[in-house]
Amino acid sequence: MASGKNSWAICDICGWRYKHAVMQMNSYGLLVCPQDFEGAFDLKNNPQNKVPDVRDNPNIPNPRPEPFPGGQNLLWEQVTSNWEDETNYWNLI
């Protein structure tokens, strides 16, 4: 056990040398430096042990109506440029 104000310790995670006075034990029992200390991170406070918020939002953002009856399923073979023809083009869909 190191003692005194001039004692050094090696961080178990990064391997850098620090003053023993600034080192801390983490939740897994490792002696770590202040940069590698995770605070209250343990098995109880682990983010993976918390239930995620998975509420579904059924609202459709910025809805639009269909541009013309039948949607956009118009086939190019059915389109004609003969405007004198008496055919109702909307019934081709």
Domains in the chain, number: 1
CA angle (59, 69, 84) in 5-degree steps: 155
Mean pLDDT by 10 residues, the chain (93 residues): 79 94 88 87 72 83 71 59 59 58
CATH number at 1 reads 3.30.60
Query: Can you say whether residue 7 is alpha, beta or left, with left for phi > 0 and alpha for psi between -120 and 50 degrees?
Result: beta
User: Residue 66 falls within a domain, yes or no?
Assistant: no
Residues 43, 45: Cα–Cα separation, whole Å: 6
38 contact partners, CB below 8 Å, separation of at least 6? 26, 27
Residues 25, 44: Cα–Cα separation, whole Å: 17
Structural domain span for residue 10? 1-43
Q: What is the pTM of this model?
A: 0.42
Residue 36: Cβ-neighbour burial (10 angstroms; 0-12, 13-18, 19+): middle
